[in-house]
Amino acid sequence: MEILVCARRVPDTSENEIQLNGKGNDIERDDLVYSINEADNYAVEEALQIVAKSGGNVTVVTVGTDEDEEILRRELAMGANHGVLLSDDAFSGSDGKGIATVLKGFVQKGKYDLILTGVQAEDGGAQVGGMLAAMLDYPFASLVNSIEITDGRKLKVGREIEGGNKEMNEIDLPCVLSIQTGINEPRYVGMRGIRQAASLEVPTYGAADLGVDKASVGEAAAKVKCDDYFVPALGKGAEILQGTSEEIADKLIELMKAKGGLQ
């Protein structure tokens, strides 16, 4: 099976405190630790597992700038066959639809049976996969937490719905699936693998290569734009207990006793 995984490089919220920049028009991006979006990494692992069972290739693609190439190399080190960067000044400022338009251009250059995305980016809206599927007229399923290959033209996929329940669907190929975290256990990527991937070729395609009309992407085409960032006014907020660990623990135990939580 030929599988395309659409991935993104994002600030890693488990490694960073996200703060506003001085102007309030963006977050403070200096010194942030970036990594591949967590759900996208699960998507790559799932693609690798499918290919290990049924053959084929895994291509990882991202829309971004030269800086974003590092996540492609990381996923190559993980075992992906190809990494491709889609980059053009014209793509800058794209909204979700603009990104989906660029990806559509790339999909149509090749022949993929299955397209995977992460369910959502840290700063995104769980939107590009569903948009891309609609543009291609492919079937789509979001929040996918299991994939089973039933025959050459169909998959059986589980979706995570409320209460830990799972909705099972049959879906025709080619299709687009957005992958939920936890679907598998992504393999570890060591420094050695990343060093080896450093010399691999990562081609870059621009708007002209993809046959993408520059007027349909980028800031000018974007109907959705971020105005500013702010930290919401706190509600009442928690009463922060102060003191040494011991003092805090004593206070907390008294509070929990008063609430009937400690007999």
User: Which residues in the 36-95 window bind another protein by CB under 8 A?
Assistant: 95
Residue 128 Cβ, how far from another protein at the closest point, in Å?
A: 7
Under 8 Å between Cβ of 56 and 177: no
Alpha-helix residue ranges (DSSP H) falling in 120-213: 128-136, 191-197, 207-210
Q: Give the integer Cα–Cα distance in Å for 100 and 45.
A: 22
Residue 82 Cβ, how far from another protein at the closest point, in Å?
A: 26
Q: Based on CB atoms, which residue is closest to another protein, 66 or 250?
A: 250
Instruction: Give the contact letters, 154-173, x = binds to another protein (CB under 8 A), - = no.
Output: --x-xxxxxxxxxxxxxxx-
Q: Phi and psi at residue 36, in whole multiples of 5°?
A: -70, 140
Under 8 Å between Cβ of 60 and 82: yes
Q: Based on CB atoms, which residue is closest to another protein, 192 or 225?
A: 225
Q: Give the integer Cα–Cα distance in Å for 119 and 124.
A: 10
Q: Is position 33 an interface residue for another protein (rule: CB under 8 A)?
A: no
Q: How many residues form the binding site for another protein (CB under 8 A)?
A: 84
| CB within 8 Å of 53: residues ≥ 6 apart | 149
Q: Based on CB atoms, which residue is closest to another protein, 182 or 211?
A: 182
Q: Work out which of 4, 76, 175, 179 binds another protein, going by CB under 8 A.
A: 175
Q: Which range binds another protein by CB under 8 A, 1-9, 72-80, 81-89, 241-249?
A: 241-249
